[in-house]
Amino acid sequence: MSDMKLFTSDEKPTWCPACGDFGILASLKQAFAGLDLSPHDVLLVSGIGCGSKMPYYMRANGYDALHGRAVPVATGARLGNHDLRIVVISGDGDGYGIGGNHFMHVIRRNPDLTHVVQNNQVYGLTKGQYSPTSDKGYISGTSPDGAIEMQINPIALAMASGATFVSRGFAGDPKHLTQLLMKAVRHRGYALVDVLQPCVTYNKVNTYDWYRGRVYKIDDESGYDPSDYDAAWGRAKEWEERIPIGVIYQEEGRPTYEEQVPELQAGPLFRQPVERPRELLESIKREFI
Amino acid sequence: MSDMKLFTSDEKPTWCPACGDFGILASLKQAFAGLDLSPHDVLLVSGIGCGSKMPYYMRANGYDALHGRAVPVATGARLGNHDLRIVVISGDGDGYGIGGNHFMHVIRRNPDLTHVVQNNQVYGLTKGQYSPTSDKGYISGTSPDGAIEMQINPIALAMASGATFVSRGFAGDPKHLTQLLMKAVRHRGYALVDVLQPCVTYNKVNTYDWYRGRVYKIDDESGYDPSDYDAAWGRAKEWEERIPIGVIYQEEGRPTYEEQVPELQAGPLFRQPVERPRELLESIKREFI
Amino acid sequence: MSSSVVVNNLTFKMGGEAGQGVESSGAGFSKALARAGLHVYGLQDYMSRIRGGHNFFQIRASDRNVQATESAVHLLLPLDTLTVEEHLQEVVPGGAVIMDTPLKIDDARLLDRGVSPVRVPLTEIAQREGGNKLMMNTASVAVAAGMTDMPFEFIEQIIRENFGGRKGQMIADANIAVARAAYDEGAREFGPDFGWKIKPLQAKPRMLIHGNQAIAFGAAAAGCRWISMYPMTPATSITEWLAAHHKKLGIVTKECEDEISAILMAIGAAHTGVRAMTATSGGGFSLMVEAVGLAGMTETPLVIVDAQRAGPSTGLPTRHEQSDLQFALHCSQGEFPRIVLTPGTIEECFNAGWRAFNLAEKYQCPVFILTDMNQSTAIRAIDPDAFDLGSVQIERGELLTDEELDALTEPYLRHKVTSSGISPRAVPGHPNAIILTTSDEHYENGQAVEEAPARIAQMEKRMRKLQLAASDIRPPLPEGPEDADLTLVGWGSTYGPIHEARQLLEADGIRVNHVHYHEVWPFPTAATEALLGGARRVVDIENNYTGQLALVIRMMTGINIPNKILKYDGRPFTGDEIVRKVQEGVLARV
Amino acid sequence: MSSSVVVNNLTFKMGGEAGQGVESSGAGFSKALARAGLHVYGLQDYMSRIRGGHNFFQIRASDRNVQATESAVHLLLPLDTLTVEEHLQEVVPGGAVIMDTPLKIDDARLLDRGVSPVRVPLTEIAQREGGNKLMMNTASVAVAAGMTDMPFEFIEQIIRENFGGRKGQMIADANIAVARAAYDEGAREFGPDFGWKIKPLQAKPRMLIHGNQAIAFGAAAAGCRWISMYPMTPATSITEWLAAHHKKLGIVTKECEDEISAILMAIGAAHTGVRAMTATSGGGFSLMVEAVGLAGMTETPLVIVDAQRAGPSTGLPTRHEQSDLQFALHCSQGEFPRIVLTPGTIEECFNAGWRAFNLAEKYQCPVFILTDMNQSTAIRAIDPDAFDLGSVQIERGELLTDEELDALTEPYLRHKVTSSGISPRAVPGHPNAIILTTSDEHYENGQAVEEAPARIAQMEKRMRKLQLAASDIRPPLPEGPEDADLTLVGWGSTYGPIHEARQLLEADGIRVNHVHYHEVWPFPTAATEALLGGARRVVDIENNYTGQLALVIRMMTGINIPNKILKYDGRPFTGDEIVRKVQEGVLARV
Ligand SMILES: Cc1ncc(C[n+]2csc(CCOP(=O)(O)OP(=O)(O)O)c2C)c(N)n1
Ligand SMILES: Cc1ncc(C[n+]2csc(CCOP(=O)(O)OP(=O)(O)O)c2C)c(N)n1
Ligand code: SF4
Ligand code: SF4
Ligand SMILES: [Mg+2]
Ligand SMILES: [Mg+2]
Sequence letter at residue C92: V
* Interface contact A264, partner D, CB < 8 A: yes
- The answer to whether residues D561 and D553 touch, using CB atoms and an 8 Å cutoff, is yes
DSSP code at position C400: P
Residue B83 belongs to some domain of the structure: yes
Domain boundary among D323, D358, D385: D385
Domain boundary among C445, C471, C497: C471
* Interface contact C273, partner B, CB < 8 A: yes
Residue A282 belongs to some domain of the structure: no
Residue A210 belongs to some domain of the structure: yes
Alpha helices in D390-472 (DSSP H): 402-406, 452-472
Percentage, residues of chain B above pLDDT 70 = 100
Say what the pLDDT of residue C3 is.
63
Same domain, D358 and D443: no
Same domain, D462 and D483: no
pLDDT over threshold 80, residue D589: no
Distance CA A123, CA D135 (A): 64
Sequence letter at residue A21: D
Say what the pLDDT of residue C19 is.
87
Residue D249 belongs to some domain of the structure: yes
Give the tens place of pLDDT for each residue, A170-205: 999 999 999 999 999 999 999 999 999 999 999 999
Give the tens place of pLDDT for each residue, D447-466: 999 999 999 999 999 999 99
Give the tens place of pLDDT for each residue, C193-218: 999 999 999 988 999 999 999 999 99
Mutating to test ligand 1, I would choose from A56, A116, A123, A194 the residue with most ligand atoms within 8 A of its C-beta, which is: A123
Say what the pLDDT of residue D585 is.
87
- The answer to whether residues C256 and C285 touch, using CB atoms and an 8 Å cutoff, is no
Residue A280 belongs to some domain of the structure: no
Same domain, D146 and D282: no
Give the tens place of pLDDT for each residue, A224-234: 999 999 999 99
Give the tens place of pLDDT for each residue, C31-46: 999 999 999 999 999 9
Residue D386 neighbours by CB distance under 10 Å: 17
CATH number at residue D148: 3.40.920.10
Distance CA B88, CA B44 (A): 6
Beta strands in C81-163 (DSSP E): 91-100, 116-120
Residue C344 belongs to some domain of the structure: yes
Pairing outcome for strands C226-229 and C252-255 = parallel
pLDDT over threshold 80, residue D164: no
Nearest CB partner across the interface for C384, out of B79, B270, B285? B285
Same domain, D44 and D182: yes
Give the tens place of pLDDT for each residue, D404-436: 999 999 999 999 999 999 999 999 999 999 999
Give the DSSP per-residue string, A45-114: EE-SSSGGGGGGGBSSEEEE--TT-HHHHHHHHHHH-TTSEEEEEEEHIIIIIITHHHHHHHHHH--S-E
Which residues are CB-neighbours of C334 under 8 A, at least 6 positions away?
C293, C296, C297, D282, D310, D311, D312, D313, D315, D321, D323, D324
CATH number at residue A188: 3.40.50.970
**Residue with the larger pLDDT of the pair C172 and C167:** C172
pLDDT over threshold 50, residue D209: yes
Say what the pLDDT of residue C201 is.
95
CA–CA min distance A220, chain D (Å):
37
Ligand 1 contact via A48 beta carbon (within 6 Å):
yes
Nearest CB partner across the interface for A14, out of C52, C229, C239? C52
- The answer to whether residues B114 and B169 touch, using CB atoms and an 8 Å cutoff, is no
Residue D474 neighbours by CB distance under 10 Å: 15
Please state the separation of Cα B281 from the chain's center in Å: 41
Mean pLDDT, residues A248-274 taken together:
97
Say what the pLDDT of residue D470 is.
98
Domain boundary among D174, D197, D220: D197
Distance A124 CA to ligand 3 centre (A): 5
Average pLDDT along chain C: 96
CA–CA min distance C568, chain D (Å):
7
Say what the pLDDT of residue C590 is.
58
Residue A274 neighbours by CB distance under 10 Å: 17
Same domain, C304 and C258: yes
Mean pLDDT, residues B252-262 taken together:
97
Name the pLDDT band for D588 (thresholds 50, 70, 90): confident
pLDDT over threshold 90, residue D167: no
Distance CA C515, CA C499 (A): 10
Domain count, chain D: 4
Same domain, C130 and C239: no
- The answer to whether residues C412 and C433 touch, using CB atoms and an 8 Å cutoff, is yes
Residue B268 belongs to some domain of the structure: no
Q: Which atom of ligand 2 is nearest to the CA of B92?
A: 16
Residue A98 belongs to some domain of the structure: yes
Average pLDDT along chain A: 97
Residue D549 belongs to some domain of the structure: yes
Distance D27 CA to ligand 6 centre (A): 28
Distance CA D349, CA D376 (A): 9
Name the pLDDT band for D3 (thresholds 50, 70, 90): low
Q: Tell me which chains share at least 3 CB pairs under 8 Å with chain C.
A: A, B, D
Alpha helices in B119-255 (DSSP H): 154-161, 174-186, 208-212, 229-236
Residue B86 sits at the vertex; the CA angle it makes with B82 and B92, to the nearest 5 degrees, is 145
Residue C395 belongs to some domain of the structure: no
* Interface contact C268, partner B, CB < 8 A: yes
Reduced to 3 states (helix: H, G, I; strand: E, B; else coil), residue C540 is: strand
CA–CA min distance A28, chain D (Å):
17
Nearest CB partner across the interface for A100, out of B104, B110, B149? B104
Peptide bond into C234 cis (omega under 30): yes
- The answer, yes or no, to whether ipTM is higher than 0.95 is yes
pLDDT over threshold 50, residue D103: yes
Same domain, C145 and C47: yes
Give the tens place of pLDDT for each residue, D233-261: 999 999 999 999 999 999 999 999 999 99
Give the tens place of pLDDT for each residue, A64-74: 999 999 999 99
Average pLDDT along chain D: 96
Q: Which atom of ligand 3 is nearest to the CA of A16?
A: 6
Distance CA D358, CA D399 (A): 11
Give the tens place of pLDDT for each residue, A236-258: 999 999 999 999 999 999 999 99
Distance CA C214, CA C305 (A): 12
pLDDT over threshold 90, residue B183: yes
Mean pLDDT, residues D313-334 taken together:
98
Reference C399, options C305, C295, C270, C294; nearest CA is C270
Reference D543, options D373, D300, D302, D363; nearest CA is D373
Q: Calculate the dihedral angle through the C-alpha atoms of B118, B124, B130, B132, rounding to the nearest 10 degrees.
A: -20
Give the tens place of pLDDT for each residue, A73-113: 999 999 999 999 999 999 999 999 999 999 999 999 999 99
pLDDT over threshold 90, residue B19: yes
Say what the pLDDT of residue C331 is.
98
Minimal-distance CA residue of chain C relative to D461? C545
Give the tens place of pLDDT for each residue, C120-168: 999 999 999 999 999 999 999 999 999 999 999 999 999 999 887 777 8
Residue D33 belongs to some domain of the structure: yes
- C150: Cα within 13 Å, side-chain hemisphere: 33
DSSP code at position C55: E
Say what the pLDDT of residue B24 is.
98
Give the tens place of pLDDT for each residue, C321-333: 999 999 999 999 9
Residue D392 belongs to some domain of the structure: no
pLDDT over threshold 80, residue D524: yes
CATH number at residue C214: 3.40.50.970
Mean pLDDT, residues B243-258 taken together:
98
Q: Exposed e or buried b for every residue in B166-186, given b needs 16+ CB within 10 A?
A: bbbbbbbbbebbbbbbbbbbe
Same domain, C164 and C224: no
Nearest CB partner across the interface for C272, out of B64, B66, B81? B81
Same domain, D220 and D271: yes
Pairing outcome for strands A61-64 and A165-170 = unpaired
pLDDT over threshold 90, residue A51: yes
Reference C229, options A130, A228, D515, D333; nearest CA is A130
- Residue B119 structural domain: 4-259
- The answer to whether residues C373 and C523 touch, using CB atoms and an 8 Å cutoff, is no
Give the tens place of pLDDT for each residue, C492-501: 999 999 999 9
CATH number at residue D557: 3.40.50.920
Which of D228, D230, D264 to mutate to test binding with chain B, by most B CBs within 10 Å of its CB? D230
Residue A61 sits at the vertex; the CA angle it makes with A55 and A62, to the nearest 5 degrees, is 35
Angstrom CA distances, B174 to B26, B177, B224, B226, C244, stand at 7, 5, 22, 21, 49
Which residues are CB-neighbours of C241 under 8 A, at least 6 positions away?
C212, C213, C216, C217
Same domain, D430 and D486: no
Same domain, C224 and C352: yes
Which residues are CB-neighbours of D27 under 8 A, at least 6 positions away?
D42, D57, D208, D379
Relative to the alpha carbon of B125, which ligand is closest? Answer: 2
Distance CA D42, CA D73 (A): 13
Element (H, E) at C583: helix C575-584
Residue D395 belongs to some domain of the structure: no
Specify which residues C371 forms β-bridges with. C307
Reference C17, options C63, C65, C49, C61; nearest CA is C49
Say what the pLDDT of residue D1 is.
45
Give the DSSP per-residue string, chain A: ---GGGGB-SSPP-SPTT-HHHHHHHHHHHHHHHTT--GGGEEEEE-SSSGGGGGGGBSSEEEE--TT-HHHHHHHHHHH-TTSEEEEEEEHIIIIIITHHHHHHHHHH--S-EEEEEE-SSBTTTTSB--TTSPTT--BTTBTT---SPPP-HHHHHHHHT-SEEEEEETT-HHHHHHHHHHHHHSSS-EEEEEE---TTT-SSS-HHHHHTTEEEGGGSTT--TT-HHHHHHHHT--SS-EEEEEEEE---PPPTGGG-GGGTTS-GGGS-SSPPHHHHHHHHHHT-
- Residue C424 structural domain: 402-471
Distance CA D337, CA D359 (A): 12
Residue B24 belongs to some domain of the structure: yes
Q: Which atom of ligand 2 is nearest to the CA of B51?
A: 21
Distance CA C514, CA C489 (A): 6
* Interface contact A237, partner B, CB < 8 A: no
Say what the pLDDT of residue C275 is.
98
* Interface contact A236, partner C, CB < 8 A: no
Same domain, D507 and D437: no
- Helix, strand, coil shares of chain C as percentages rounded to 5? 40, 20, 35
Say what the pLDDT of residue C167 is.
73
Beta strands in C105-245 (DSSP E): 116-120, 196-197, 207-210, 226-229
Residue B285 belongs to some domain of the structure: no
Domain count, chain B: 1
Say what the pLDDT of residue D450 is.
94
Q: With CB atoms and an 8 Å threshold, state whether C450 touches D289.
A: no
Q: With CB atoms and an 8 Å threshold, state whether A124 touches C50.
A: yes
Residues with CB under 6 A from ligand 2: B 48-51, 67, 91-94, 118, 120, 122-126, 131; D 230-232, 259, 283-284, 287, 314
Distance CA C11, CA D506 (A): 72
Residue A196 sits at the vertex; the CA angle it makes with B251 and A185, to the nearest 5 degrees, is 105
Say what the pLDDT of residue C372 is.
98
Percentage, residues of chain D above pLDDT 70 = 99
